[in-house]
Amino acid sequence: MSTVLITGSSTGIGRRTAETLAAAGHTVYATMRDPGNRDAGAVSDLNTRARSRGWKLRIVELDVTSQASADAAVRHVLDETDGLDAVVHNAGHLYIGYVEAFTDNDVSHLLDVNTIGAHRVNRAALPHMRSRRSGTLLYVGSTIQVTTPPFLGPYVASKAAFDALAVVTSYEVSQFGIETSIVMPGAITQGTNHFPGASHASDLRVAVQYAELDPLVERTHEAHEQLFAPGTTADPQSVADEIERILALPVGSKPFRSVVDAAEAGVDHVMAFSDLTREAFVRRLGFAETLKVKP
């Protein structure tokens, strides 16, 4: 079994993934930004469940907006184990509102959390993985970069950038035996704090000028919930199950991309064509070897 570090493990997909992988026998380091205060309830619950079930699950502090925090978290894992086998990049935050009303600081902060945060964790983990010439980087992306719904502008931009950075990083790390998988969930409206905990634009002076659209913004959560067929739910467990499946696959056989979308928006077809086009272009450039994990 593997040793896995998961970012953003206090709620939603991260929490379910930590529990699912631990139940499957993996050694899991579930990281949270503030385990001593804001996330204390999640820490207590996870620790209780781990003890009662005999899971190898540890809680580690990790703030993805800090390189020092990422370095310390990875160092903690390496001090306690034989090595880090996989990183699940899950930490993220949602913004809802009018694009113009988000200040440059608003947008910069979201990119810092949702995109640069994964890069910081990679910079902490990759020296170890490269030295071992093995490992898996699994990114929890989003179908939203294709569906691009209204009123979620900065979030859409951050997840698109997150995906692009994952793709370009994959070319380089593949030559050191490191695999990449990008799991793209559709809208998750249950079992997570994603929509209820969303932030809003800081520039209220601009936001009020869009007031006639407020009724549309106010039903953003409801609009996503109505995407699903009767009896169908969009639950984080489906994503956690897919992450478990992928990490259990043999080296060299993990899918580069997987779409988990109860809304059935057709993103799997779009991304299949997109990846084929991208791979063909990389081959034309003469870099075909970067598309395969080097043994």
- Residues recognised as catalytic: 155
At residue 185, the 3 state secondary structure works out as strand
Burial (0-12, 13-18, 19+ Cβ within 10 Å), 252? exposed
CA 167 – CA 111 distance, rounded (Å):
17
Tokens at 16, concatenated: 């379910």
CA 267 – CA 264 distance, rounded (Å):
8
- In angstroms and rounded to an integer, the radius of gyration of the C-alpha atoms of the chain is 19
End-to-end CA distance of the chain: 20
Torsional sign, CA 123, 129, 130, 135? negative
Pick from 97, 102, 117, 209: nearest CA to 161? 117
Tell me how long the chain is: 295
Burial (0-12, 13-18, 19+ Cβ within 10 Å), 66? middle
Are 20 and 244 in contact by the 8 Å Cβ rule? The answer is: yes
